[in-house]
A = this chain, B = another copy of it.
């Protein structure tokens, strides 16, 4: 008991937000480490190496267009936009935290993708011949995916943490992600093309657990800054729309070539369309005069993309996608209205962007939909070869039945939950240490602490604060 108390006392020391030593130190040390590790481990794979021309001959590949680059690069670019513009601008809605939203998003994504290439490489693409990790366009997509889970987690703690804390959170987040991804996809052999479980469920619970550990009882002092102004809401819509539009690319980016990518894009497109209508309907119902709330439009409209992630490459059928989107729009919007305030009041979890409604619940739903769809798969619908291809019933898994696959999907969901919650609690403890330069309770949601403002800005700031 004494130990915990002294830990708590230690954590409650007055805050010092000067990060002039710690932030550059973290950036330099980690970037130099990346260079060294990349030097030791990372090489081009056979499709991005100059030996591609010999590889083509020896594998009877007739044309350069068969290079994986042409199958996946357009999707990669769309995913890239989601990571940097989508997530970055979605979080600009706070009236005084736009620099922090888009700038720190940039920082942690820039670091995270390098670390993800290494971590995922060790688990997935280590070449046994020479002990090197071989990277190509698919590695870049996977690195962006991994970063997405950390950016989701950032949504829960937006405005309450320092950039140094974010770097630490990303370091551990990427590490945990790579392990749970390996367990879920390789050991358990669950399928998760769009990452409902691997990315969204894990990322959201990781962020929520950290937010729980970092709970600030006196956050009321910054409460007046948790809100938007007209222009910041329009900026946030840039993020929303780029996420919404490119989600079909996200869910189809690493699906099987051919019908897999094609089908994943269609399912996501449809699910998202349905979500828009039900989000707006519930948003309008929730107000006395039927007015819409921008928070719901910015966030809940995306829930359908999350929830269709796992099943996107399966034969979910177009109407199935609509049903998923229909339900998620309702659940996510209701979450913003009822669950977020409840969680803050009773569970002591403050969730700045409402990631519980946008990622956690839809992610879990996505995992369940995936399990059901997989369990219900049949040779009638998929065809013999189609079934084997879609669920990768090959090699040591060649005798697997769809019902079994359903069980494995459910197991995968549990792993994602455990890693998210468990990992978040541990990392949250680390982040409570008073050495990271986070803001005092009365200066949260104000990027003045970490961003130099040029002359003249202060007046506008104070104006927007007082009104």
In the complex, the chain B residue whose C-beta lies closest to that of A39 is B319
A169 at the B interface (CB under 8 A) = no
A48-B263, A50-B383, A136-B262 known; A31 vs B274 contact (CB < 8 Å)? yes
- Scoring A residues 239 to 282 as 1 if CB is less than 8 Å from chain B, else 0, what string do you get? 00110111011000000011101110110011011111110111
B residues within 8 A CB of A111?
273, 276-277
A459 to B463, CA, bound (A): 10
Cβ-closest chain B residue relative to A83 = B245
- Identical copies of this chain, number: 3
A234 CA to B288 CA in the complex, in Å?
34
Name the B residues within 8 Å of A265 (CB-CB): 69, 73, 137, 140
Q: Which residues of B contact A67 (CB under 8 A)?
A: 257-259, 262
Instruction: Scan A445-467; emit 1 where CB is below 8 A from any B CB, else 0.
Output: 00001111111110111001001
Other-chain residue from B19, B259, B301 in contact with A47 (beta carbon distance below 8 A):
B259
A103: Cβ under 8 A from any B Cβ = yes
User: A131 contacts the other chain (Cβ, under 8 Å)?
Assistant: no
Bound form: Cα–Cα A453–B84 in Å:
28
Please tell me if the beta carbons of A284 and B140 are within 8 angstroms of each other in the complex.
no
Residues of B contacting A288 in the complex (Cβ-Cβ under 8 angstroms): 20
Evaluate contact between B386 and A51: CB separation under 8 angstroms.
yes
Number of A interface residues, CB 8 Å?
Answer: 147
Instruction: State A136–B20 Cα separation when bound (angstroms).
Output: 51
Distance from A377 Cβ to chain B, minimum over Cβ atoms (Å):
9
> Which of A28, A30, A456 lies at the interface centre, i.e. has the most chain B CB atoms within 10 A of its CB?
A456
> Known contacts being A276-B106, A282-B24, A390-B50, is A35 close to B319, with CB within 8 Å?
yes
Q: Which residues of B contact A110 (CB under 8 A)?
A: 272-277, 301
Q: Considering residues A237, A390, A467, which has the most beta carbons from chain B within 10 angstroms of its beta carbon? A: A237
Known A71-B70, A85-B245, A456-B229; contact A20-B285, beta-carbon cutoff 8 A = yes
Cβ 8 A contact of A460, one of B35, B51, B230, B258: B230
Q: Does A152 contact B (CB under 8 A)?
A: no
8 contacts between A and B (CB under 8 A): A21-B290, A43-B318, A48-B266, A77-B78, A85-B241, A85-B245, A99-B233, A228-B454
Q: A31-B281, A84-B244 are in contact. List 8 more A-B contacts (CB 8 A).
A: A22-B290, A24-B282, A34-B322, A44-B263, A49-B386, A69-B265, A163-B280, A294-B452
